[in-house]
């Protein structure tokens, strides 16, 4: 009996042939089977990152850093008849900001081929999503920390009589209670204060967004029908999707677990256990989900920009910003690498790796607003400008 002609669906550029004629090289006979994994990783990254599309993003090629140029404002004056127009000395103040590339950011897993064969569920797709989640989480956290620092910074343009406005801190509520961070009416007032501050500093109204903790976001949703100050485009399930469809003062609202919320990532469960420092009492430990803000100062291995330390964010409870607030440079976008060939044979499995090379920092401090609770403005490391 003749051998069956095998349809080589796993082989690149191969047609039906007898088994003996097919290549047995690992990276040839399974050449197409990694494509699904790559798509899963990008899906995992894209569905869990929001900061990437909310700030200024540039691609870095053939260099280690990217320079951003600031130009200050120019003045106008009346012309005196008969006098030549020769320009104004130091008419246009200029400053620069350089964003460095941080070291290669990776997330990886080893998949043992026998485990993959015996498992009753598909391993690679699940691992792919988790790798994408890990990269996206780190990506967002670094950007949000950069924006928070921008809200406390002076503008790089600081020439005499040409000083540009810096960042803004706004206290939620009128008292130093951490629980104010969850009060919808106080949040709404803070949004209008932030919008006014951005207007006064000449920040464009286009691309203004806010990122809140999930509990803050849902507090606002619950007050939608009773609070006329909150504008919404849709209601129902779409309203609860947290994709920026609620607006306050023209500021679209997103939710994220990755803002440095009271010095933690995640959420503080409830409000009555939060004291005036924004700290949850020990009796409430275990009933909330949180993770400490890891140290990401410039002296930490792999970090080449300044993202601050955990103690700097203990009163931070939300961000409002415009697209110019921060910049992110990417030398390597989200990618997947998988071992094959001799390495796969030697270890009887594959290393699945997701990687990303990026760096972030604030750009225009005037476009950065930090919401704080549990302290007065200026108590988080710098005064508002």
Is it the case that residue 271 has pLDDT exceeding 50?
A: no
Cα 378 from chain centre: 24
In contact, 258 and 276? CB cutoff 8 Å: no
* Token code pair at residue 78: 């009346």
Q: What share of the chain is helix, strand, coil (3-state, %, to 5)?
A: 30, 25, 45
In contact, 127 and 288? CB cutoff 8 Å: no
> Rg of the Cα trace of the chain?
26
The packing angle between helices 123-150 and 35-46, to 10°, is 30
> Which domains, ranges and CATH numbers included, belong to the chain?
35-65+94-372 (3.90.1690)
For residue 335, the surrounding DSSP H or E stretch is strand 326-338
Three-state secondary-structure class, residue 27:
helix
Closest CA to 43 of 156, 132, 135: 132
Question: Per-residue pLDDT tens for 202-213?
Answer: 999 999 999 999
Confidence band for 20, pLDDT divided at 50, 70 and 90: very low
Report the DSSP beta bridge partners of residue 112. 349
Confidence band for 141, pLDDT divided at 50, 70 and 90: very high
Give the angle subtended at the CA of 40 by the CAs of 38 and 42, to the nearest 5°: 75
Q: In this predicted model, which residue has the larger pLDDT, 378 or 315? A: 315
Output the pLDDT for position 281.
Answer: 45
Burial of 125 (0-12, 13-18, 19+ CB in 10 A): middle
Torsions phi, psi of 110, nearest 5? Answer: -100, 125
HSE at residue 169, side-chain half, CA atoms within 13 A, is 24
Q: What is the mean pLDDT of the chain?
A: 78
Question: Per-residue pLDDT tens for 283-328?
Answer: 444 444 567 777 777 778 888 888 988 888 989 999 999 999 999 9
Is it the case that residue 170 has pLDDT exceeding 70?
A: yes
Output the pLDDT for position 231.
Answer: 60
Closest CA to 156 of 57, 66, 72, 58: 72
3-state SS of 29-91 is HCCCCCHHHHHHHHHHHHCCCCHHHCCEEEECCCCCEEEEEEECCCCCCCCCCCCCCCCCCCC
Query: What DSSP string describes 133-176?
Result: HHHHHHHHHHHHHHHHHHTT---S---TT-PPP--EEEESSSSS
Query: What DSSP string describes 244-280?
Result: EEEEETTEEEEE-TTS-BTTEEE----STTB-TTSPB
Torsions phi, psi of 311, nearest 5? Answer: -65, -20
Task: Give the strand pairing for 251-255 and 243-248.
Answer: antiparallel
Predicted structure pTM score: 0.78
- Expressed in angstroms, the distance from the first to the final Cα of the chain is 86
Is it the case that residue 384 has pLDDT exceeding 50?
A: no
* Token code pair at residue 349: 């499995």
């Amino acid at each position: 009996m003749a051998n069956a002609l095998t349809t080589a669906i796993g082989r690149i550029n191969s047609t039906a042939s007898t088994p003996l004629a097919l290549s047995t090289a690992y990276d040839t006979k399974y050449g197409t089977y990694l494509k699904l994994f790559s798509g899963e990783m990008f899906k995992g990254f894209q569905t869990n990152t929001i900061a990437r599309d909310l700030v200024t993003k540039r691609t870095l090629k053939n260099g280690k850093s990217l320079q951003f140029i600031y130009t200050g404002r120019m003045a106008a004056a009346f012309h005196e008849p008969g006098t030549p127009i020769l320009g104004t000395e130091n008419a246009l103040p200029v400053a620069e900001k350089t964003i460095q590339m941080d070291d290669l950011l990776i997330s990886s897993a080893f998949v043992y081929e026998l485990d993959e064969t015996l498992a009753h569920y598909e391993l690679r797709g699940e691992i792919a999503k988790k790798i994408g989640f890990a990269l996206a989480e780190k990506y967002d956290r670094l950007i949000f920390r950069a924006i928070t620092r921008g809200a406390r910074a002076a503008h790089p343009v600081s020439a005499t009589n040409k000083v540009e406005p810096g960042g803004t801190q706004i206290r939620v509520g009128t008292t130093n209670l951490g629980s104010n961070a969850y009060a919808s009416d106080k949040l709404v007032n803070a949004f209008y204060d932030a919008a006014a501050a951005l207007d006064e500093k000449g920040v464009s109204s286009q691309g203004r967004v806010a990122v809140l903790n999930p509990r803050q976001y849902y507090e606002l949703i619950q007050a939608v029908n009773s609070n006329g100050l909150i504008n919404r485009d849709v209601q129902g399930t779409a309203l609860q999707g947290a994709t920026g469809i609620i607006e306050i003062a023209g500021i679209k609202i997103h939710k994220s677990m990755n803002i440095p919320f009271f010095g933690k990532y995640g959420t503080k469960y409830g409000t009555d256990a939060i004291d005036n420092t924004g700290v949850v009492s020990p009796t409430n430990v275990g009933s909330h989900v949180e993770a400490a803000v890891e140290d990401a100062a410039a002296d930490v291995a792999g970090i080449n920009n300044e993202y601050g330390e955990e103690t700097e964010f203990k009163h931070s409870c939300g961000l409002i910003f415009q697209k110019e607030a921060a910049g992110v440079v990417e030398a390597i976008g989200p990618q997947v690498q998988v071992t094959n060939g001799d390495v796969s044979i030697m270890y009887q499995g594959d290393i699945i790796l997701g990687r990303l090379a990026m760096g972030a920092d604030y750009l225009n401090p005037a476009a950065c607003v930090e919401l704080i609770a549990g302290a007065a403005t200026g108590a988080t490391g710098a005064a508002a400008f």
